[in-house]
Amino acid sequence: DGGITQSPKYLFRKEGQNVTLSCEQNLNHDAMYWYRQDPGQGLRLIYYSQIVNDFQKGDIAEGYSVSREKKESFPLTVTSAQKNPTAFYLCASIRRGGLNTEAFFGQGTRLTVV
Amino acid sequence: AQTVTQSQPEMSVQEAETVTLSCTYDTSESDYYLFWYKQPPSRQMILVIRQEAYKQQNATENRFSVNFQKAAKSFSLKISDSQLGDAAMYFCAYRSGGGSTNAGKSTFGDGTTLTVKP
C-alpha cells in the first residue's frame, strides 16, 4: 500500500544533541513538507520541497535543516540551535501538479528533549 | 507572508444540529487554494473539503460545505447534521498556487476544537 511513513514514532533527545526525523513516501509525490505542532495549536511550516535537490524555508526554519537527495525521502534534522524542540512533527506530501489536491500526512513523530 | 486566522479556539454543537467554523486569511496572491482538514485524537490529518480560489461556486462534500467570500478573504466551514464522529480539531489551510513565487507553500490556522454533544 502506498503511503507516507515517519519514524520513529517517539524520540527522546538530550539537550545539545542533533537528531534526525525520517520521512519516506512511496506515493511518487514530488512535493514534501515538514510541520511542527505544539499542544493545542496549529501546524507551523518548517521546510518544504517541490522537487529533488531543492527546498525552501518555511515560517519557522531556524534551528532545523533538511535534505532532499531522493524523491522518496525528506529527512528533518533538529539541531542544538533549536531552543525549544519538544513538539509533534508531521511530514506531508502532494503529487506533481497537485497544488489543488489534498496533502497526505504521516503519523507523526513526537520529539521530547530530556 | 500569508496568514490564516481561526478566531474560534473551541466550538460545540448538539448532535444533528448545524455548526459553522470561521476562517479568514490574508494574502496578496491571486492564485491559491484553500482546505479544511480534520484532526481527531489519533492526530491523523484528514481532508474535509477544498476550494480553488478561481472558482466562485462554494465547494460541497456531503454534510460539509464552505462559504467562500474571496473579497472578504473568508472561508468558513459548515457542518450539517453533526455526528459524534465529527468531534475533532479542524484546521483551515492555505496553499500558494503555481503562479506564485511561493508556489506550494502551505500555511495552517491554529485550529478549532469541535465538541459534539449527544
The residue among A15 and B115 whose pLDDT is bigger is B115
Contact between B109 and A50 using a beta-carbon 8 Å cutoff: no
Say how far apart CA B82 and CA B58 lie, in whole Å: 20
**Mean pLDDT score, B98-113:** 88
What's the pLDDT tens digit per position in B46-65? 999 999 998 889 999 999 99
C-alpha cell at B43: 492526530
pLDDT at B42 exceeding the cut of 80: yes
Say how far apart CA A23 and CA A60 lie, in whole Å: 19
What's the pLDDT tens digit per position in A33-72? 999 999 888 999 999 999 999 999 999 999 999 999 999 9
Give pLDDT, residue A61.
Answer: 96
Which of B44, B45, B55 best probes binding to A when mutated, by most A CB atoms within 10 angstroms? B45
| A contact residues 74-103, partner B, Cβ 8 Å cutoff | 88, 90, 92, 94, 99-103
pLDDT at B80 exceeding the cut of 80: yes
Give pLDDT, residue A85.
Answer: 93
- Chain B nearest C-alpha distance from A91 (Å): 11
pLDDT at A1 exceeding the cut of 70: no
Contact between B106 and A105 using a beta-carbon 8 Å cutoff: no
- Chain B nearest C-alpha distance from A100 (Å): 6
pLDDT at A101 exceeding the cut of 90: no
- Chain B nearest C-alpha distance from A107 (Å): 6
pLDDT band at residue A95 under the 50/70/90 scheme: confident
pLDDT at B99 exceeding the cut of 90: no
Q: CB-CB: which of A43, A59, A99 is closest to B33?
A: A99
- pLDDT cut 90: percent of chain B above it: 81
Give, in degrees to the nearest 5, the angle at Cα B24 between A31 and B6.
85
HEC profile for A76-94? EEECCCCCCCCEEEEEEEE
